Amino acid sequence: MLKGKGVSSGIGLGNVVVLKKVERNVDKKTIENEQIEHELERLHMALNEVAGETEAQLKNISGTEADIMQAYLMIVQDPTLITETENIIKNDKYNVEYAVEVGFNNVAQIFQNMDDEYMASRARDIIDIKNRVLAKLLNEKNVDLSNLKPNTIIVATELTTSETAKLDFKNVSGIITEIGGENSHTSIMARTHSIPAITKVDNITNILKDGETVAINGILGEIYINPTPEEKQKLLAIQNELNVEKLELEKYKNEKTVTKDGTKVHLYSNIGILKDVELAIKNTAEGIGLFRSEFLYMDSDTMPTEESQFEVYKSVAEKMNGKEVIIRTLDIGGDKELKYLKLEKDANPFLGYRAIRLCLDNLPLFKTQLRAILRASAFGKIEIMFPMISSIDELRDAKKVLEDCKKELDGENIEYDKNIKVGIMIEIPSAALIADKLAKECAFFSIGTNDLIQYTVAVERGNEKISKLYTKFHPAVIKLIKMAIDGAHSANIICGMCGEAAGDPLFIPILIGLGLDEFSMNSNSLLKARMTINNLEKEKCEKITEEVLKMSSAVEVEERLKEFKAN
């Protein structure tokens, strides 16, 4: 048996089709002035072909898959990406193939360096588009994935978004890749189509052979080569349990999120773009706990105007029809480069010039966004959340800028919610340690576990060599979460969580035991989280939490929670 990371639950049995990674050498050539226009024409011809193919795929799909491919199309047509590549041809005078290789890689690296897992995953899409454009320029033949034999197990170094969109899903029994993550478009599409998927399996394209029989368990990341009858029977029993669970989850749509002994919590969704709202509504999110506003900036080659931001925020508020929409102000910086901001590179971007630090230093940028949010608050229940707060002085400074914006709007007779709530992210240990003080000067907290873990255990979560040390089960992380929740409650304000931990069924009992008020997560995790919460008893969660708080090992914590879940 081989082991990887399960990213889409389910059981798959079938025959292997291996997609070998294309090895490509891109020549670097200088061009003359008279060749520039020709190279630009070739670039746009290839881009238009890729865009045309993507638009054709969009006509035959709907729902989440269509949302994913629409976002993919936006990347294909992204002015920043195109301009970066054009400049290498026009200014540096290099051939189009080399310009595509360098230009797309530059933009992909910007996304790859981001601390937000969803946005970092978009780097894969940029590389996918780059390879498709190069294939057009070099007249390469692409593998046809639309006509597969029944019960096919796809095996690849990495299955790109465009390749996944071409798949004949009714004939795909599973997906195994060497590279990928839970937030890749491939993983999301696999979950949407209920296809088991496993990633992070080293050298799998060389281990497995075309036509070989394989069974996979997408829950545990297990791969069985030429499975025995006993192994097949075991996996079939698991599949039957999953089918029952899927039907059960549908029952939790539109249900309240409340424990068996009557503790009510809020179940919210995280979103990044306007399209994400539809999935949140479909899975009956009770509100938006995190709107990552940086997408508006990343998808533009110039600074988004107040008007353009206002229209997006207003639209989200109206679609949510009176439910809370918490907008996080711009979380951008040295690790999330914007060409038009011309930021200097930080030696350590995760500890550098970003988020609220950057905004307080760039008041025109900050006030433009705050004015747009305030104006949109007249059309729904919008709230403001400041990221990367490390001290009470930063909170006070940010609130002062907000008050200045309110005075400006009052002077212009522009309506907004005069009582708009202002909260902060608790994602830096210093903020958790003074949570009781911060809570007296804001309306709510939202714990960002992705960064809180990173800063607490000194592990950059994208570093594979030390990734096993990056864990929410670390007792120090749990104690900081407790401090944040207790600090909020000491001032009678709500404490939520919008990091990945909020949607983990194994970790949820700890959060209930600690008294977390609001859980915000990827929309696809909502129903599973609601089912988990509704089948827990707070009193039992409090007891297991007391046990865990006395432990000194992340391994011990995780194992104890697995025992608790099993019982």
Residues acting as catalytic residues: 185, 498
Which of 128, 130, 134, 11 has the alpha carbon at shortest distance from 68? 128
- At residue 327, the 3 state secondary structure works out as strand
Is-contact 107 12, C-beta < 8 A? no
Is-contact 198 176, C-beta < 8 A? yes
Chain position carrying tokens 């310009």: 99
The token pair at 526 is 């909502």
Is-contact 177 16, C-beta < 8 A? no
The token pair at 180 is 């990928």
Q: In DSSP terms, which residues pair with 326 in a beta bridge?
A: 383
The number of CA neighbours under 13 Å toward the Cβ of 24 is 20
Give 210's contacts (C-beta < 8 A, 6+ positions apart): 16, 17, 18
Is-contact 183 118, C-beta < 8 A? yes
Please give the C-alpha separations between residue 179 and each of 75, 182, 381, 460, 504, in angstroms, as whole numbers: 21, 11, 40, 18, 22
DSSP string over 417-439: -TT--EEEEE-SHHHHHTHHHHG
The token pair at 545 is 């939490």
The string over 372-410, giving b where at least 16 C-beta atoms fall within 10 Å of a residue's C-beta and e elsewhere, is: bbbbbbbbbbbbbbbbbbbeeebbeebbebbeebbeebe
Is-contact 322 356, C-beta < 8 A? no
Alpha-carbon gap, residue 17 to 10, rounded angstroms: 19
- At residue 173, the 3 state secondary structure works out as strand
Is-contact 353 333, C-beta < 8 A? yes
Q: How many helices (H) and strands (E) does the chain have?
A: 23, 16
Alpha-carbon gap, residue 27 to 1, rounded angstroms: 42
Alpha-carbon gap, residue 133 to 312, rounded angstroms: 31
Give 547's contacts (C-beta < 8 A, 6+ positions apart): 560
Sort strands 11-19 and 222-225 into parallel, antiparallel or unpaired.
unpaired
> Of all helices (H) and strands (E), which one includes residue 496?
strand 494-497
Q: 465 φ, ψ to 5°?
A: -65, -30
The token pair at 298 is 């990343």
Neighbours of 516 (CB within 10 A): 25
Is-contact 264 512, C-beta < 8 A? no
DSSP string over 346-392: PSSGGGSSBHHHHHHH-HHHHHHHHHHHHHHGGGSEEEEEE-S--SH
